[in-house]
Structures are given as structure tokens and as C-alpha cells.
């Protein structure tokens, strides 16, 4: 194949048609199969088409330059010494300059543009898949997986042909196309593995997404290499007479797709980058001879190390041999031997660790999809430090609103004797209304039966979540809103825990419910402020009622005591007004009898009685009536100190 051959250009056109054709077919298979793992495959096929366009244009310019050079040689041979020779030489220089400018400017710009587009697209898909709540199951995974294998085989055949054709003269730019065809085949096989995986194991819902992300990681690395390769090419030293290597060619793919072995490809890449024969150094030759056996031995050793399994103190394990459970009895913590992967494995689970999940609200990135943006002034930014949680301020994202019954007779928060259905008082025919209640309830559980938890259910924790949600909905729908929110809160946790445990035992989940927190139940945040106003008004009304009752309790006994006192005073007055005059009249009649018997003695006796009883504390002086000639001097001053005559003498003492 000479430089003027049309074969490189024709092969490039075939590669363009093949690349875009495979891309269209891959898009159809991915859409029909609802497979995420095939998305990187059609992205790689699209890159094959783009690189083929670059190769086709480069072959076209190179052929044009070769034709001009051939015409110049022929012109020199036939028209030597004529003036037309200068015009022919100028045409060659123009064709050469166009070819050089294409390689020097257009190809680097194309690499940067295509690399940025590839990284951007891969990053967009990664973000979209990471935030998706669920991935659809593959539709008809077996036929779609088979079709993906057929496309992979076709890519391998075309890639092998183009790899061989790239060794011919003038077809060097076909090698990047063949390398990306090999990558497309590998990504098709990756998608086929994902679909076969879902076909043989329907529970593997995340296999398709996981393998799709693996393909995206490869494309991210290759896209970054395209951009970085432009910068590296600017500072790479050149060797005289070195073979031209296309800038669009991936050094990473070349390690696995170019003929000659991995070690030789590494050596060629090092020689190309450093500008001298690194592969001729003795140390490199020693590493090249020893590296393959060393890597093989390391790979075998790593594979044999998979026979050793360590079960941690808080874990138990279940042994599987050739995909079947060898023994349902859990393995206790310790060291165990098993068949090497993939012939055997020991699945370990943290049975002694208390596990938890949340009911009533979403955590992490999923909460942002169900809630408006947080308001820094009115919302609590995920306060989980034990601070006060206000009903009117949003503190968790994506809270679920539960329907809660409310008895029509219950009009006040915490009033009445409403006990709900949990107290044996059904709603019955009583007219009811409903409320919404937000709740953030964490459930803590432990694994009590490892085999039931691991093998009787596809996802035991998801089943437990659904059971918990069902029991909470039933409980709230059958109980009064205000009863649940106030005095019923204490017993709600125990009632719900018992109901969830009973249902889990019926389904043989193999779990033990440790605790269900119901402290996070509250009215929805949207009506929190209004509900606070209602609660405040109810509390004010309760305070006024209690104050009136206290005032009534204070006034009624006081009034009764006052009435009793007035009644007793009236009876006393009545007795005084009726009995005292009668007693005085009787006493007067008795005195009259004494006076009639002896008036002098009666008067003297009464006089002396007055002196004795009524003038006890009055000083008395006795003066004889017949000694009128004597002069008496009476000192009426009060004595400050008593004298001898003033001392009291006890006549009874001898």
C-alpha cells in the first residue's frame, strides 16, 4: 500500500459507518432493555465514529499531499529546467502545510472538545444515576443480553481487522478506531453480564446500575486522558525519525489492544514519552523478564487468599458452597476456610449490632427532591444535637404526612377522656374528621435469626420498613389526633413495637425490634404556626377555666363559713337578749329578799364586796371617825423602794 492509495480513506469511511451504526443499534438495545450498563457502550461506539472521521480526513490530506509530491517528481522528470516547476513546488508546499496544520491545530482542538464532552456526559449520567430513587428492571434481559454479545463479537472482528490494517503504510490513524472498537466490545460484554445477572437473579436490582457506573469510570478516565494528552504533547521531547503517533490515540487503551504484549506496549509508550530508548536499559529488561511471572504468582496468591474468611466479634456468617447454603446454623466469630472465590463464600452479617432506619422522613440527597429549598431564617438545618425542635420550623427533609383520625367530640388539645382504639374505644358510628401528622420515627432492630433474615427474603430490611409503615398507618388512622399527640404518646411506642414484632414473626423476618421512637410526631410544618396559635388559645382557655374553678373553690367555702358565722352570732344574740334579762330579774328578786331581812347589813355587805372585788388593785386608807383632834399626814407619792412596813408577811409561816 503506497501513500497515494485510497485504501486508508475507504477503511476510515467504513469505520465511520460501522461506528455510528453500532451506536444507533446500541441505543436501541439500551432503550428496549431499559439497561443502564449499555449506555457507556453506545457512547464508546459514538467515539469510534468521531475518531474515524478524524482518520478519514487525515488520510484524505495525506493522499492529496502524496499525489502532489508524485506529480512534482513526474514533472521534474519530464519538464526539467522550465519555469513551470516553481508553481508545482508551491502546490506541494501548500498541501504539506495544510496536512501539518491539521495535525498541529485541528486535531488537538478536536481532542479537547471531544474529551470535555465525554467527561461532561459521563459526569451528568453519574449524577443522575446516583440521585435516582429506583432503577427499572431490564426488559427481556436474555434476548437483549444475547444481542449485546453478538454486537460485541462484531466489534471484536472489525477491531481485529482494523488493527491489522493499521500496520500498513499510511493507515496508522486507523489504530485509535480499532482500540475504541475493542473498548466498545468490552462495554457490550459488560452490559450483557448485567442483563444475564438480572435474568438469573431477579433480586439483583442494582447490578445493571453498578456495571454501568464501572463503564462510566472507564470513559471518565479516557476523556480526561484526551484532554491531558494535548498538554503532554506540547512538552514531549521528539526523537529524529520517530514514527508519527496520532494524538487521538489512547495510551491506556494501547496497553491492552496493540499487538506485542503488555510489557512491549509499556516500553513503546515510555520510549515515545521520554524521547530515548528506555526499553534498552538493563534494569528495564530485568523487570520485563521478571514482571510476568511475579504478577502471575501474585494473582494466584491473591486468589488463594480468598479461602480465608475472618468473622468479626459482632458478626455471624452463613457458608455457601457452589451457590448453595451448606448449613443454616450461623458461624460464630473466628477464622474459617472455604472454597476459593467464586466456588464458595461465607456471607457475614452484623447480628450483634443494632441496626436502624427511619420512617416518616428521607435522609441524604433524596430529601432534597421532596422539599422546597431550605430557608435559613425559618428552617432548622438538620438540627440533631438535642436542641428544641419547633413545629413551625422545618428540621428534616421529605417528611411524610400521615392521615390521623379525630373524634368529632374532641375539640380541645388534651381535653376530654378520648382514649382512641388503643384503649378499647372504637370510633364506631361517631362522625370523625381527619388530620395530617408529620412524623420522624427511627426504628432500631437486631438480627435474631440469620438464615431467615438473609435467605427467606430478597431484602429483609425493606420488608421490615414496609411492615413498619403499614402498622404506623393503621395505628394513626384508628386513633384520635390529639390523643396520639398528648397522653397517648407514651403507650404508642410500645403498642406499635408489639404490632411490628408480631407481624415480623409471622413473616419469619428473623429480627428483634429493640425500640421505635415516636417522639418526633408533630403537626405538618406548613400549619405549625397556626397550630401553635390553636394550642396557645386552648391553653389560655384551660387556664381561665382552672382559674374560675379555683375562684369558685375559694368563694363557696368562704361564703358558707360566713353564713354559718352570721347564723351563730344571731343565735348568740338571741340567747343573750332572752336569758340575761331573766337572770337579772331573778337576781333582783333574791337581793330584795336579803335587803328586806337586814338593810344595813345588806348595804355594808355590798359595799365591802365592791371593795374586795372591784377595788383590789386600789390603795385604801382607813381613818377612825372619833379622833377629830389628831392631824394625819398622808404621803400620796409612790414609793420607789419598799421599806420594812411594806413587806408582805405570810401569816401562815411560823
User: 306 CB contacts (<8 Å, ≥6 apart)?
Assistant: 340, 341
Domain C-terminal end among 238, 261, 294: 238
Tell me if 279 is assigned to some domain. Answer: no
Q: Summarize pLDDT for 340-397 with one digit per residue, the tens.
A: 877 888 888 888 888 888 887 665 444 444 444 444 444 444 444 445 666 666 666 5
136 to each of 56, 130, 204, 206, 207, how far by Cα in Å?
40, 14, 12, 10, 11
Position 545 scores a pLDDT of: 92
The answer to the question of residue 593 being in a domain is no
Least confident range of 77-86, 422-431, 588-597: 422-431
In the listed set 316, 349, 382, which residue is the last one of a domain according to the structure?
Answer: 349
Residues 140 and 225 in one domain: yes
The cell numbers describing 621, all together, are 386608807
Quote the DSSP letter at residue 522: B
Residue 352: which residues within 8 A CB-CB, separation 6 or more? 313, 314, 315, 446
Domain span including residue 322: 308-349
d(CA 588, CA 585): 5
Task: Look at residue 531 and tell me whether its pLDDT is greater than 80.
Answer: no
Q: Residues 415, 317: one domain? A: no
Is 119 among the domain residues? yes
Specify whether 329 is located in the same domain as 375: no
Look at strands 511-516 and 441-447 and give their pairing: antiparallel
Instruction: Kindly state the cell numbers that stand for 242.
Output: 520517530
Domain's final residue, options 207, 238, 269 = 238
Burial class (CB in 10 A: 0-12, 13-18, 19+), 546: exposed
pLDDT-wise least confident of 241-255, 355-369, 553-567: 355-369
Cβ-defined contacts of 256-264 (< 8 Å, 24+):
256/182, 257/159, 257/163, 257/178, 257/179, 257/182, 257/183, 258/163, 258/175, 258/179, 259/163, 263/288, 263/291, 263/292
Average pLDDT value for residue range 203-218: 80
Q: How far is CA 569 from the centre of its chain?
A: 79
Give domain status of residue 579, yes or no: no
48-66: b or e for each residue (b if 16 or more CB lie within 10 Å)? bbbbbbbbbbbbbbbbbbb
Can you give the pLDDT at residue 535? 74
Q: What total number of domains does the chain contain?
A: 3
**Are 465 and 329 members of one domain?**
no
For residue 239, pLDDT over 60 is answered with no
- Report the alpha-carbon distance of residue 477 to residue 426 in Å, rounded: 12
pLDDT at 186 over 80: yes
Q: Is residue 649 over pLDDT 60?
A: no
Same domain, 321 and 433: no
Q: What is the pLDDT of residue 544?
A: 92
pLDDT at 134 over 80: no
Q: What is the pLDDT of residues 485-503, one digit of tens each?
A: 777 777 888 888 899 999 9
Domain match, 228 and 127 both: yes
Tell me: do 211 and 340 sit in the same domain: no
**What's this model's pTM, rounded to 2 decimal places?**
0.46
**612: in domain:** no
In angstroms, rounded to a whole number, what is the distance separating the alpha carbons of residues 493 and 637? 94
The answer to whether residues 195 and 36 touch, using CB atoms and an 8 Å cutoff, is no
Amino acid at each position: 500500500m503506497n501513500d497515494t492509495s485510497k485504501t486508508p480513506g475507504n477503511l476510515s469511511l467504513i469505520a465511520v459507518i460501522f461506528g455510528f451504526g453500532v451506536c444507533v443499534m446500541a441505543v436501541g438495545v439500551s432503550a428496549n432493555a431499559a439497561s443502564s450498563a449499555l449506555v457507556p457502550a453506545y457512547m464508546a461506539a459514538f467515539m469510534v465514529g468521531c475518531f474515524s472521521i478524524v482518520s478519514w480526513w487525515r488520510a484524505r490530506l495525506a493522499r492529496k499531499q502524496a499525489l502532489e509530491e508524485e506529480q512534482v517528481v513526474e514533472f521534474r522528470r519530464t519538464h526539467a529546467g522550465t519555469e513551470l516547476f516553481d508553481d508545482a513546488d508551491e502546490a506541494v508546499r501548500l498541501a504539506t502545510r495544510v496536512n501539518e496544520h491539521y495535525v498541529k491545530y485541528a486535531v488537538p482542538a478536536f481532542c479537547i472538545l471531544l474529551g470535555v464532552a465525554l467527561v461532561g456526559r459521563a459526569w451528568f449520567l453519574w449524577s443522575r444515576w446516583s440521585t435516582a430513587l429506583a432503577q427499572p428492571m431490564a426488559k427481556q434481559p436474555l434476548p437483549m443480553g444475547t444481542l449485546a454479545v453478538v454486537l460485541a463479537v462484531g466489534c471484536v472482528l472489525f477491531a481485529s481487522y482494523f488493527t491489522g490494517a493499521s500496520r500498513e503504510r499510511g493507515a496508522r490513524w486507523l489504530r485509535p478506531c480499532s482500540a475504541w472498537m475493542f473498548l466498545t466490545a468490552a462495554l457490550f460484554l459488560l452490559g450483557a453480564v448485567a442483563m444475564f445477572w438480572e435474568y438469573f437473579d431477579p433480586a439483583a436490582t442494582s447490578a445493571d446500575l453498578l456495571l454501568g457506573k464501572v463503564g462510566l469510570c472507564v470513559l471518565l478516565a479516557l476523556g480526561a486522558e484526551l484532554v491531558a494528552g494535548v498538554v503532554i504533547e506540547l512538552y514531549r521531547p521528539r526523537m529524529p525519525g520517530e514514527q508519527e503517533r496520532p494524538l487521538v490515540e489512547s495510551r491506556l487503551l494501547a496497553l491492552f489492544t496493540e499487538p506485542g504484549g503488555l510489557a512491549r506496549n509499556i516500553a513503546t509508550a515510555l520510549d515515545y514519552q521520554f524521547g530515548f530508548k528506555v526499553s534498552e536499559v538493563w534494569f528495564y529488561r530485568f523487570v520485563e523478564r521478571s514482571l510476568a511471572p511475579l504478577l502471575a504468582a501474585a494473582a494466584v496468591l491473591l486468589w488463594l487468599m480468598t479461602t480465608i474468611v475472618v468473622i468479626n466479634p459482632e458478626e455471624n456468617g452463613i457458608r455457601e458452597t457452589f451457590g448453595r447454603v451448606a448449613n443454616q446454623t450461623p458461624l460464630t466469630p473466628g477464622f474459617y476456610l472455604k472454597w476459593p472465590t467464586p466456588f464458595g463464600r461465607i456471607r457475614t452479617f452484623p447480628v450483634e449490632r443494632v441496626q436502624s432506619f427511619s420512617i416518616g422522613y428521607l435522609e441524604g440527597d433524596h430529601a432534597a427532591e421532596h422539599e422546597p429549598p431550605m430557608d435559613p431564617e425559618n428552617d432548622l438545618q438538620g438540627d440533631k444535637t438535642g436542641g428544641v425542635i419547633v413545629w413551625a420550623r422545618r428540621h428534616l427533609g421529605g417528611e411524610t404526612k400521615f392521615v390521623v383520625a379525630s373524634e368529632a367530640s374532641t375539640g380541645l388539645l388534651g381535653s376530654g377522656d378520648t382514649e382512641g382504639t388503643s384503649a378499647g374505644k372504637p370510633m364506631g358510628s361517631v362522625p370523625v374528621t381527619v388530620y395530617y401528622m408529620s412524623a420522624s420515627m427511627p426504628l432500631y432492630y437486631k438480627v435474631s435469626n440469620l438464615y431467615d433474615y438473609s435467605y427467606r427474603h430478597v431484602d429483609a430490611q425493606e420488608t421490615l420498613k414496609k411492615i413498619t409503615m403499614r402498622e404506623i398507618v393503621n395505628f394513626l388512622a384508628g386513633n384520635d389526633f390529639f390523643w396520639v399527640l398528648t397522653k397517648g404518646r407514651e403507650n404508642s411506642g410500645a403498642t406499635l413495637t408489639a404490632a411490628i414484632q408480631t407481624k415480623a414473626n409471622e413473616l419469619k423476618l428473623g429480627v428483634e425490634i429493640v425500640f421505635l421512637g415516636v417522639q418526633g410526631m408533630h403537626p405538618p410544618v406548613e400549619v405549625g404556626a397556626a397550630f401553635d396559635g390553636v394550642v396557645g388559645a386552648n391553653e389560655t382557655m384551660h387556664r381561665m377555666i382552672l382559674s374560675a374553678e379555683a375562684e369558685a373553690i375559694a368563694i363557696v367555702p368562704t361564703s358558707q363559713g360566713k353564713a354559718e358565722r352570721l347564723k351563730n352570732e344571731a343565735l348568740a344574740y338571741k340567747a343573750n337578749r332572752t336569758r340575761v334579762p331573766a337572770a337579772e330579774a331573778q337576781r333582783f328578786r333574791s337581793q330584795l329578799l336579803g335587803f328586806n331581812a337586814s338593810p344595813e347589813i345588806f348595804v355594808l355587805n355590798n359595799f365591802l364586796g365592791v371593795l374586795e372585788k372591784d377595788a383590789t388593785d386600789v390603795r385604801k386608807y382607813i381613818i377612825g371617825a372619833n379622833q377629830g383632834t389628831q392631824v394625819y399626814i398622808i404621803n400620796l407619792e409612790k414609793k420607789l423602794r419598799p421599806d420594812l412596813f411594806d413587806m408582805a408577811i405570810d401569816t401562815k409561816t411560823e
